[in-house]
């Protein structure tokens, strides 16, 4: 008899689903930087009830994506180009820790999940589908967090990763998708091989790539 607790059969909490929906709208600029919206509008646009949306907004506010103003609605955080550099500089060290740990604690399940992420990223790059790449990038971050067996580093990295996706979506260059995919695949290959040093080096190169984009944007 199949176990009732299969991972795919467990429905995630409504507040987490609402968070994912609103986060995606913010990252893809569907909720434009600096815009003011009401809680009711977000309930309607997300399709979730007031309680899950309210809980999601509390988390988004803590992560710096929105500001909740009593009696004035919700303000989406602006995108200041110079802030991207700060995000990347904060990410670099923790990303290397996560990559090293993932390579060290690799198991059969996470190898399969990393292979799925790799395939998703390749498909997104071939199709030139930026949204699909962002979805695959989020999957990569989630698998990396699980594989690292370091919830402290993962919790620190998560909002920084999302901020970075938002900046990248706004300021991506013409070759951004291909380059980002190539660098992510190098990280994935090193982790799957269980090579901690190569995983750290590939992650550093990925951060260098994104930081280069951030420098260009900040100095325009």
- Lookup result for tokens 């569907």: 30
SS3 content of the chain, % helix, strand, coil (to 5): 75, 5, 20
pLDDT tens sequence for the chain (220 residues): 344 444 444 678 999 999 999 999 999 999 999 999 999 999 999 999 999 999 999 999 999 999 998 878 899 999 999 999 999 999 999 999 999 999 999 999 999 999 999 999 999 999 999 999 999 999 999 999 999 999 999 999 999 999 999 999 999 876 789 999 999 999 999 999 999 999 999 999 999 999 999 999 998 8
User: Rounded distance, CA 23 to CA 104, Å?
Assistant: 31
What is the per-residue pLDDT across 34-52, written as a single tens digit (0 to 9) for each? 999 999 999 999 999 999 9
User: Rounded distance, CA 69 to CA 184, Å?
Assistant: 38
Structure tokens at 134: 């962002």
Q: Would you say the pTM of this structure is higher than 0.85?
A: yes
* Sheet with strand 66-69: strands edge to edge: 36-37, 73-76, 66-69
Q: What is the pLDDT of residue 174?
A: 67
What is the per-residue pLDDT across 108-118, written as a single tens digit (0 to 9) for each? 999 999 999 99
Q: What is the pLDDT of residue 63?
A: 96
CA neighbor of 218 nearest in space, from 204, 75, 210: 210
């Amino acid at each position: 008899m199949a176990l009732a607790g299969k991972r795919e059969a467990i429905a995630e909490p409504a507040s987490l689903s609402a968070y994912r929906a609103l986060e995606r709208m913010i990252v893809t600029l569907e909720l434009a930087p600096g815009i003011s919206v009401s809680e009711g509008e977000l309930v309607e646009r997300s399709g979730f009830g007031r309680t899950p949306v309210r809980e999601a907004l509390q988390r988004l506010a803590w992560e710096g994506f929105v500001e909740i103003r009593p009696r004035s609605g919700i303000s989406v955080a602006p995108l200041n180009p110079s802030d991207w550099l700060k995000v990347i500089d904060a990410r670099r060290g923790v990303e290397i820790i996560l990559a090293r740990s993932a390579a060290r604690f690799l198991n059969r399940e996470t190898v399969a999940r990393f292979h799925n992420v790799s395939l998703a990223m390749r498909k997104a790059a071939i199709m030139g589908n930026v949204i699909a790449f962002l979805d695959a990038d989020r999957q990569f971050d989630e698998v990396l967090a699980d594989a690292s067996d370091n919830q402290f580093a993962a919790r620190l990295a998560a909002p920084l990763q999302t901020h970075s996706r938002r900046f990248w979506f706004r300021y991506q260059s013409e070759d951004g998708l291909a380059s980002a995919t190539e660098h992510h695949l190098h990280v994935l290959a090193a982790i799957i091989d269980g090579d901690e040093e190569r995983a750290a080096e590939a992650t550093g190169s990925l951060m260098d790539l994104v930081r280069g984009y951030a420098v260009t944007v900040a100095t325009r």
